[in-house]
Structure 1
Amino acid sequence: MVAVFNKELLSWYLITLKLKETVESGLQNAQSPTTTRSSEFPAQSHQEHLQKQENEVWNSLQIEAKDEVQDDEDDKGPTSPKSEWVISIKEKLNQARQEDAAGSWAKLCIYRVPQCLREGDDKAYIPQIVSLGPYHHGRRRLRNMDRHKWRALYHILKRTNQDMQLYLDAVKELEEKARACYEGSIKLGSNEFVEIMVLDGCFILELFRGVAGGFTHLGYSRNDPIFAMRGSMHSILRDMIMLENQIPLFILDRLLGLQIGNPDQRGMVAKLALRFFDPLMPTDEPLTKSDRNKLESSIGNSSTFDPLTDQGGLHCLEVFRRSLLVMRTGPKPTPRIWIKRWSHTNRVADKRKQQLIHCVTELKDAGIKFKKGKTDRFWDIKFKNGILKIPRLLIHDGTKSLFLNLIAFEQCHLDCTNDITSYVIFMDNLIDSAEDVSYLHYCGIIEHWLGSDAEVAELFNRLCQEVVFDMNDSYLSRLSEQVNKYYDHRWNAWRASLKHRYFNSPWTIISFIAAVFLLLLTFAQTFYGVYGYYRPSS
């Protein structure tokens, strides 16, 4: 459409078009044999009638043109644009007031990963096979999984002999609470949002129950492309642990409760989630039965959903994170409180001051020894008498995405310690090169399934590239101080250098002992020669 800037010209153009249409319609009526007016009026009266119509159209269009010009002049006035501007500002302030209402952030626990964290690592945060929740719903490449979600829901309804409306009504009651768990406004209608919660939630539960008790018991074929312990299950597993791909735990609890006939049950989904995500554990040994029982009891104790307590599970990623930190015996860092960040002693974290510890090569040259820790809890690091004990860490192709999403959750969720972030930054400080990885592998501390040691070094060097946190808020800060104090002691470095240069093999030790023995003999011979000269025997 062509923009017309002169409204008077536009008015004349419209008048011309209207006159033309009127004249043409009048001529058609005059030529039509069915029109009675042409037979009742002579040509002269007909022309007068057309002229009268043209005058009426002219007057009406002139009035419209004057009104448009008057509106244009009013728009140029000093008050109208200002009024619209003020109204726009008031609307924005009203929206801000609604977002800042009391309790509006209380249940927020499923976040969009900040752009500063996801630079160059989108695949670690964006699902590649299946979307869960509203954030990535409707993506073209993920739509193929929707038919399998509907199959899962069909199997549930068929197995339980229940009606679909039962699940929709149950989730409808929790819709407002579920929306509050997601960051920002969810631009989905009520029906669509509830449908997503039911469909994705039932899909998750079928996977959980299938891994725990077998898919064949749930009615699936052993050759099923999705509901089987093979095929794309590993990729689905990685997608389901992503921060942006979570469903609130209370939604899953309600859906599972409806299936087993106990709508108010709690804790069972968390137990199933622990078994399902166990292959992602970054340790050789799975979670022990006693540790699992303790974790399951801690998750299932609370009767109400409250994300600000340590008892209420938020979602599967948070449950998995808790399983990583279960039964930690070390000192726990104080929970982060925003107001303390602005004190003189606890300043805002500085990216330049995140160097907790020196790299492996430098520590080794300073006489510090590395040994594999006896515990299977990867975060349980200890230092005593110059020996740094680090539990075994298993690195596979899903470790990067796992750690990145755990770090993103700790960065976004204020009421959450930064234990995983502290551990990753500690390991990042230790590993600077492939030689560092090779030595840790030699000590039994790192086991990886990647192509080379250089890839492991690059992985850790990029995990916390854009992460900023206060090193004083780390549970490893005190241990790092002890290691650095030992490193700064010069005698330890000299002793290590002596051992490295002259006692690095049995042959050098034998040679050193022989040299010392010969030196002692030479000294004794010289002593007795001098002594005999001044004190000759009588």
Structure 2
Amino acid sequence: MASRRRIEESAWVADVEKAVADVHASAEESARWRRHSIYRVPACIKDLNCKAYQPQVVSLGPFHHGEPHLRPMDAHKRRSLVHFLRRARRPLSEFAAAVGDAVERLEGAYQGLGDEWRGGERFLELMVTDGCFLLEVMRTANRREVNDYADDDPVFSAHGLLYTVPYIRRDMLMIENQLPLLVLDRLLAVESGKEGNEELINGMVLRFLSPAAWPLVTGVGLALHPLDVLRRSLLYGPTPGPQAPPEESAPPDDIIRSAEELYEAGVRFKRSQTSSLLDIRFRNGTLYLPPIAVDDTTEYMLLNLMAFERLHTGAGNDVTAYVFFMDNMVDSARDVALLTARRVVQNTVGSDKAAAKLFSGLSRDVVLGPQSPLDDVHREVNAYCRKRRNRWRANLVHTYFRSPWSFLSLAAAVFLLAMTIMQTLYTVLQFYGDNS
């Protein structure tokens, strides 16, 4: 009895019972989770490729602030703040007050934000400083708005744009290194004296992250952060249309064939009309794929976009489905060479083998939703490959046309068969000619 009484009076039991009685706790938890948009990558994901989630030059936001290898950029951040204020001709207190009005939402954007960042000036100072730095970097890259930095400035000059800014651009792709675009919105509202800068900010970030200026969906308000801007632009465009259902009598086929195997079965590849990752279609034996540039930042970009989809409820799995689709399409250097020849892949990482290795490492431990947007395309392609004439074609090509020696052997066999037939015909004709 004494033991039971001690348990009933323990602090742990009292705390849990209080939580059970609090009917508002679940609603508060749900509201807090909805505010999250910037996450720490779990170890089960990060351990596969730690470098892909680690900023190399600059920290944005609190998660990597103060790390030794990122501290040299802090002096440049402070300097950019001074330039920004001097040009804006408004006191720092106005900008701090505007950002401070949204500080609760900004703190809520970071999942697992430490107590040392909450409810004090430290977080507000970080948001204003990093926000001004980001605006200055993007405006300098635009080369039309900022011109009050020295010609030998290590960051905000032509030299800095060539050697430093590309690393800043890559660090802006890290899911742990994001800054809410709400900060930029508040800063621009004070600087310009007007509200409603959402589309301006989205466009500025996109032009900086993607000089090729992929289309950006408009009319949906301010994006969450730079990575969200990039994701929206990559998915902007036509969605996969309804595919013709495969034959009902066909057996289930979960095989995902490589590009070379599909080509051997008669599938042809063409470049889609848009760069949207959703613009993948299969029509009349032709697979249309959006173009993708494979460079030094592609791996970082796709891995962080997939991590965002995995961690952010409601984000969907469109980028993950695309990566899974392409990883299965590209098994070897020959697949990369085939897609490069069709202008689907623009390979700037070196050899075709290096590009194939990049794709093969993207979908390790990938969790794909049960309703992938590319399931219909997959079924349509498999239904086409199951047709008898396409299977025969694939076997013929795979057996006799994979190498020059196989082709020469086939040609020699056909030549010998033709000569044998001609000799037989000649013998028969001569026999009947002699007896006539």
Structure 1 residue 162 and structure 2 residue 90: aligned? yes
- Given candidates 359, 363, 367, the residue that maps to 2:266 is 367
Structure 1 residue 83 and structure 2 residue 17: aligned? no
The superposition leaves residues 486-516 of structure 1 with CA deviations (integer Å, 9 ceiling, x where unpaired) of 2223321212444566689999789959966
Taking structure 1 as the reference length, the TM-score comes to: 0.68
The amino acid of 1:328's aligned partner reads P
Q: Cα distance, 1:241 vs. partner?
A: 1.8
Structure 1 residue 271 and structure 2 residue 203: aligned? yes
Structure 1 CA distance, aligned partners of 2:195 and 2:342?
Answer: 51
Alpha carbons of structure 1 residues 517 and 322: separation in structure 2 relative to 1, 3 Å: farther
The amino acid of 1:222's aligned partner reads D
Structure 2 CA distance, aligned partners of 1:499 and 1:84?
Answer: 74
The answer to whether the Cα contact below 8 Å between 2:198 and 2:221 also exists between their aligned partners in 1 is no
The superposition leaves residues 270-318 of structure 1 with CA deviations (integer Å, 9 ceiling, x where unpaired) of 1111110114xxxxxx236xx45xx3xx1xx3xxxxxxxx544211111
- Given candidates 326, 342, 349, the residue that maps to 1:427 is 326
Structure 2 CA distance, aligned partners of 1:380 and 1:520?
Answer: 53
Q: Name the counterpart of 2:392.
A: 494
Structure 1 residue 200 and structure 2 residue 130: aligned? yes
Structure 2 CA distance, aligned partners of 1:329 and 1:520?
Answer: 58
Structure 1 CA distance, aligned partners of 2:127 and 2:58?
Answer: 14
Q: Name the counterpart of 1:225.
A: 154
Q: Aligned to 1:456, what secondary structure does the other structure show?
A: helix
The amino acid of 2:238's aligned partner reads R
Q: Name the counterpart of 1:249.
A: 181
The amino acid of 1:199's aligned partner reads T
RMSD: 3.6
Structure 2 CA distance, aligned partners of 1:131 and 1:332?
Answer: 44
Q: Cα distance, 1:147 vs. partner?
A: 1.1
Q: Cα distance, 1:454 vs. partner?
A: 2.9
Alpha carbons of structure 1 residues 449 and 91: separation in structure 2 relative to 1, 3 Å: farther
Alpha carbons of structure 1 residues 511 and 421: separation in structure 2 relative to 1, 3 Å: same
The amino acid of 1:489's aligned partner reads K
Gaps of 5+ in 1: 1-75, 280-285, 302-309, 334-352
Q: Aligned to 2:169, what secondary structure does the other structure show?
A: helix
Q: Aligned to 1:389, what secondary structure does the other structure show?
A: strand
Structure 1 residue 135 and structure 2 residue 88: aligned? no
- Given candidates 213, 227, 250, the residue that maps to 1:287 is 213
Matches within 5 A, 1:54-73: none
The answer to whether the Cα contact below 8 Å between 1:254 and 1:264 also exists between their aligned partners in 2 is no
Structure 1 CA distance, aligned partners of 2:371 and 2:267?
Answer: 25
Q: Name the counterpart of 2:234.
A: 324
Gaps of 5+ in 2: 244-251
Q: Aligned to 1:103, what secondary structure does the other structure show?
A: helix
Structure 1 residue 412 and structure 2 residue 311: aligned? yes
Structure 2 CA distance, aligned partners of 1:93 and 1:128?
Answer: 45
Structure 1 CA distance, aligned partners of 2:165 and 2:70?
Answer: 15
The amino acid of 1:210's aligned partner reads T
Q: Aligned to 2:282, what secondary structure does the other structure show?
A: strand
Structure 1 CA distance, aligned partners of 2:305 and 2:229?
Answer: 11
Which segment is superposed worse, 512-521 or 107-116? 512-521
The amino acid of 1:326's aligned partner reads Y
Structure 1 CA distance, aligned partners of 2:430 and 2:268?
Answer: 45
Q: Aligned to 2:71, what secondary structure does the other structure show?
A: helix
Matches within 5 A, 1:297-376: 298=218, 301=219, 310-331=220-241, 357-373=256-272, 375-376=274-275
Structure 1 CA distance, aligned partners of 2:36 and 2:399?
Answer: 58
- Given candidates 189, 192, 209, the residue that maps to 1:260 is 192
Structure 1 residue 483 and structure 2 residue 378: aligned? no
Q: Name the counterpart of 1:30.
A: none
Structure 2 CA distance, aligned partners of 1:122 and 1:495?
Answer: 44
The answer to whether the Cα contact below 8 Å between 2:202 and 2:222 also exists between their aligned partners in 1 is no
Q: Cα distance, 1:141 vs. partner?
A: 2.0
Taking structure 2 as the reference length, the TM-score comes to: 0.83
The amino acid of 1:492's aligned partner reads N
Alpha carbons of structure 1 residues 362 and 501: separation in structure 2 relative to 1, 3 Å: closer
The answer to whether the Cα contact below 8 Å between 2:237 and 2:279 also exists between their aligned partners in 1 is no
Matches within 5 A, 1:83-162: 83-89=10-16, 98=25, 100-101=27-28, 103-162=31-90
The superposition leaves residues 110-156 of structure 1 with CA deviations (integer Å, 9 ceiling, x where unpaired) of 22222222123122112121111122222222222111111111011
Which segment is superposed worse, 83-92 or 163-172? 83-92
Alpha carbons of structure 1 residues 513 and 276: separation in structure 2 relative to 1, 3 Å: same
The amino acid of 1:287's aligned partner reads A
The superposition leaves residues 318-358 of structure 1 with CA deviations (integer Å, 9 ceiling, x where unpaired) of 1111111222253399xxxxxxxxxxxxxxxxxxx996721
Q: Cα distance, 1:520 vs. partner?
A: 7.7
Matches within 5 A, 1:370-449: 370-373=269-272, 375-377=274-276, 379-449=278-348
The superposition leaves residues 40-98 of structure 1 with CA deviations (integer Å, 9 ceiling, x where unpaired) of xxxxxxxxxxxxxxxxxxxxxxxxxxxxxxxxxxxx99639943333454577699965
Alpha carbons of structure 1 residues 85 and 479: separation in structure 2 relative to 1, 3 Å: closer
The amino acid of 1:79's aligned partner reads R
Structure 1 CA distance, aligned partners of 2:255 and 2:149?
Answer: 51
Larger radius of gyration: 1
Number of residues paired by the alignment?
Answer: 417
Structure 1 CA distance, aligned partners of 2:167 and 2:22?
Answer: 40
Alpha carbons of structure 1 residues 96 and 144: separation in structure 2 relative to 1, 3 Å: farther
Q: Aligned to 1:388, what secondary structure does the other structure show?
A: strand
Q: Aligned to 1:465, what secondary structure does the other structure show?
A: coil
Structure 2 CA distance, aligned partners of 1:210 and 1:194?
Answer: 24
Structure 2 CA distance, aligned partners of 1:96 and 1:382?
Answer: 49
Q: Cα distance, 1:175 vs. partner?
A: 0.8
The amino acid of 1:233's aligned partner reads V
Which segment is superposed worse, 511-520 or 178-187? 511-520
Q: Name the counterpart of 1:174.
A: 102
